[in-house]
Amino acid sequence: MAHQPSPGLNELDLHTQACPFPDAPYEPKLFSYLEPRVVVEVKYHDQTPDGKLRFPVFLRVRRDLRLADLK
């Protein structure tokens, strides 16, 4: 069974089969990829030297922000 996106994201229909990372392994049973169309809040333990998040956890959809607000 494939991993399901977290509650709060399911109703937005963001799921995609395309991996957005060119060097990442494709493991459909372990990962769900989402289109970057909404702003979400996550918490994480740390960042790697190259900017990747360690142990990220989805907290909520930020409906008060748009992608354009972050650029």
Give residue-wise pLDDT tens across range 21-67.
Answer: 777 766 666 777 778 888 989 999 999 998 888 999 989 989 899 98
DSSP string, 28-62: TTT--EE-S-S-EEEE-SEE-TTSPEES-EEEEE-
- Judged against a pLDDT cut of 70, whether residue 17 lies above it is answered with yes
Is residue 54 left, alpha or beta, with left meaning phi > 0 and alpha meaning psi from -120 to 50? beta
Stated as kind and residue range, the H or E segment containing 15 is strand 15-16
DSSP secondary structure code for residue 19 in this structure = -
Q: What is the pLDDT of residue 13?
A: 77
pTM to 2 decimals?
Answer: 0.60
